[in-house]
Structure 1
């Protein structure tokens, strides 16, 4: 039994196909099949039901795969410790990031990360907060980037920055600065259910359901672009985060207003599951992100007690 065989069986379980698993592992199907078969013979069990399409992992196979994943995770941790001693960050970092952060943050941080950590391979995918937490606990992700605080006892949070929330739309009384109570009776366009920024908008502005949308329209957006387009055409307001605001053209920036102090912000953190944590990689990535983002945020120019962190 070797680590390569464990990687192969995890790939077969993931893709439910020997050919797709072979492509993923960058080997021929014949090589992968032979290695899996050899492992089955060594263990004296059948890991996969090959007659099913797609391939099904047997019950005993699921138990073996669970332990195989732990072995590979601990192997990565050993390598992480060794790299830390050599002052070099290498290997692979599997990162999950929520969509409302990904679109504006990734273009600003990927270049400095790739430049400063040439030996680290990044695997970045968008997921919901719920799926990121689940995958961290499973070990299929190393790191999450999302809105916090989460208040999970088993998930560690490394705060990256605080991002101001900004009002977009037909601003009441054409004011430049508002307090949240002035928005309570306004029509609001919100992101879809389950999105943390939706919940933050509702709580911040004390929104009643009748003020979300026109009475004869049921609508949920999955992106800020859609929200702004709806506001432009049908009126009302929405909230956007600061990094998204920075990318707006000037004519759209003129449709925004800011909150008076204390300024509402969302806390953005790098999160990880301590039993599987690659601490040196996590700390290095966090520092690069802070160095890249903090100088360009308006929120960083305020004192901490001028900000109010919205719960998730």
Structure 2
């Protein structure tokens, strides 16, 4: 039994296809199939049910995959230990970022990090919070940037900044004349508040602002979109108002910026953190990444009197 064989098994278990798994492992499909077959012969069991499409794990295969994940992850930590002892900041480092943070934060720090740490092969993946939690647990990501707190025992959260929510209010909206917003001001717009689609934690943040203000749980939000840009355009068409993260508002044209309304203090905000598995050993790279991000956001976000809203859906 070899680590390579276990890596091949994990690839097939993830992609449920031998050809795709081989491509991901950068080997030919016959090579991958032969190594998995050798492992099955050695163990005298079948790991995969090849008669089903897509390929499925057998009962014993599911248990083998669970253990293989631990073995492969732990074997990879040996090099991490050596790199950390040598003070070497380099190698592959996979980071997941949620969609509502990636477009604004990534351009702010990526170039600086590459220049400062050229030996780090930074791999960025846009993932939902749910995917990030699963991938951190399975060792498929080294770290992630997401809205917190997530209340996961195995995850360490290092706060990067607090980002207030900003209301985008078109001229025809009853609240356009307000200079500052209160969470209770959302009540008069319940039927036409524009939200991100279900599955985005930013949506949960906004809904939780309403619930924290004592507004009804069955808020009749009617229009949902997949991007902030679309919501802004819909608002400009007179279809409602929306809430945006503060960083997303910094580059708005003056005409659009005139429609922004800040909330009264303490400002409803989301907590953005660098998160990682508590078993993670690449702490030297994590600290390097935290330092670079903290340096670039320090000048952009200086809010302190904030009230954190949860990114988790409240029952």
- The TM-score, its normalising length taken from structure 1, stands at 0.86
Structure 1 segments (4+ residues) deviating >4 Å = 207-213
**Alignment gaps of 5+ in structure 2:** none
- Deviating more after overlay: 168-177 vs 144-153: 168-177
Identify the match of residue 259 of structure 1 among 254, 259, 263.
263
Displacement of 1:27 in angstroms is 1.6
1:238 equivalent in structure 2: 242
Task: For 1:295 and 1:52, locate their aligned partners in 2 and report how far apart those are by CA, in whole Å.
Answer: 55
Give the number of the structure whose residues are more often helix, by fraction: 1
**Residues 137, 188 of structure 1: alpha-carbon distance in 2 compared, 3 angstrom cutoff:** same
Task: Say if 2:158 and 2:275, in contact at 8 Å, map to a contact too.
Answer: yes
- Cα RMSD over matched residues? 2.5
1:196 equivalent in structure 2: 201
- Deviating more after overlay: 125-134 vs 196-205: 196-205
Displacement of 1:158 in angstroms is 0.8
1:180 aligns with 2:183: yes
Structure 1 residues 1-312: aligned runs within 5 Å = 1-170=1-170, 172=175, 174-186=177-189, 187-205=192-210, 206=213, 207-208=215-216, 213=221, 218-276=222-280, 278-297=282-301, 300=302, 302=303, 304=304, 306-312=305-311
Task: Say if 1:98 and 1:146, in contact at 8 Å, map to a contact too.
Answer: yes
Please state whether the residue corresponding to 2:274 is helix, strand or coil. strand
Displacement of 1:57 in angstroms is 2.5
Count of aligned residue pairs for this structure pair: 303
CA offsets, 1:107-149, max 9 Å, x none? 2222223333333333332332223222322333332221112
Task: Say if 1:18 and 1:33, in contact at 8 Å, map to a contact too.
Answer: yes
CA offsets, 1:240-284, max 9 Å, x none? 011111232222112112223222221101122213453223222
- The TM-score, its normalising length taken from structure 2, stands at 0.85
Please state whether the residue corresponding to 1:88 is helix, strand or coil. coil
Displacement of 1:176 in angstroms is 3.4
Task: For 2:208 and 2:178, locate their aligned partners in 1 and report how far apart those are by CA, in whole Å.
Answer: 22
CA offsets, 1:190-240, max 9 Å, x none? 223343323332343545478755xxxx32222211211111112432110
**Residues 105, 52 of structure 1: alpha-carbon distance in 2 compared, 3 angstrom cutoff:** same
Task: Say if 1:136 and 1:142, in contact at 8 Å, map to a contact too.
Answer: yes
**Residues 7, 114 of structure 1: alpha-carbon distance in 2 compared, 3 angstrom cutoff:** farther
Task: Say if 2:193 and 2:223, in contact at 8 Å, map to a contact too.
Answer: no
Please state whether the residue corresponding to 1:174 is helix, strand or coil. coil
Task: Say if 1:190 and 1:212, in contact at 8 Å, map to a contact too.
Answer: no
Task: Say if 1:179 and 1:260, in contact at 8 Å, map to a contact too.
Answer: yes
Task: Say if 1:184 and 1:208, in contact at 8 Å, map to a contact too.
Answer: no
- Deviating more after overlay: 190-199 vs 71-80: 190-199
